[in-house]
Structure 1
């Protein structure tokens, strides 16, 4: 019986090793490494690191194409609270005196969600969270169809039904934040609390950078003219710019706004969805503009 027990345990161990081996050969595993490349490559000499949510992931997705020594640490549906967690965990990956870009837009200041907290703490530790092993091992049997070339692979190069996509995006925001529209300043008590909370977190992110000899730069990535037209300037001033300006004045940090007077990014053709997430061409245009501005204002050459 003892021999049978040892044999059974040996077979379980052997099967686990075999599944791990074949799992790491799947397209799905390869694609995970594409999506979270900066998190898992263990590079420690980035000249620039960006935080941010979905829009930032696409805006900063062409570092390698442009030979920029940067790490894209943006994640889908990311809150400022989780941005802070990412910074605290990965600031060691930026060389001393390096730049940390903090992308901030209107929807982020109204967003209070910590769903990515567990992901930040676990998925990049062993690449496979223990609790998700069974689900992920299914990919050994039913794999992704192909390997991604980059984060844009699989997304449309440009938007066809732009208005309907932007309508859907606006509807999601209105429902998520409990708003009637994006023009009238009719904020709920919860909206006001969230803005105040996120302002404090944004300030803490800036302080963390300064305390570790890093240069924080607050950036508003571009939206298309069609998406920008859905917001009133008064609404953006109250929700977004008031908080940013307070922090910029207090800490004397650089703020680069690519949502005002930026004709380069007005057309929907540089976005995958008509105005929120830049496509590959749009990302290259944006990063070239950003690098030139960083060189102009900070005297920093971020290229490899």
Structure 2
């Protein structure tokens, strides 16, 4: 499976593999790239005064992992047969965490074009989900695992305090395009980049929208693309078009290929780094290292 997945993502085909699982009566999904392994849920050691969503800790070989109970996160009834529960061991935002679920069913290979953002009328879904996958007989919610972790421990997120460590900075007139599907992270990126002097940032909530904007600029004879955009920041996971496919399109386009592209994602493992390099990314930074992101921007758009 890993070899096949690597071929898919290295070629920038805008596809992903999703592990489907159940929590309560709901059906949810997680990107295979975030999953290290799936295990039968062992006994969990509780932690005094822990966050309500934290069930406790387990020892998995030589590591101690925090267990997050997704029924509590999602406000669903607890498991009727906890002895049958599974733990999805994940790695994101440079940490490992285990999520308790009731059942793991199968892996689906899908296109990012099949994934839609929750509407504004579905505020509960917007807070919990990064997208909805419409399959033939069901809808699968892709959970926002990064937000789940940051809600539990805000120190694992992006904040302006990190930027202040860089000292006084001058305003920059350089123009940046950023593709990030999380509304929370778009807001945090806006605040932190502005604090760092980069306040000429145009945000898009998926790679397709960013690509359409770049296409519009390059096809306008009155516009010099190099005057309108000096750098692109992109997440990897996004509905409609992912960051690898966006990067691949930019680097294969004669007019756009010279634009620096920085991938800023919670998924920068060794394998994902290799795929990002394969599609031509100029740099890849793991969230939430906003200081390193700013330092890379400084280097690329001098």
TM-score bracket for this pair, using the shorter chain length = under 0.3
* TM-score, with length taken from structure 2: 0.27
The structure with more helix, counted as a fraction of residues: 1
* TM-score, with length taken from structure 1: 0.27
The structure with more strand, counted as a fraction of residues: 2
Q: Which has the higher contact order (CA 8 A, sep 6+)?
A: 1
Max Rg structure? 1
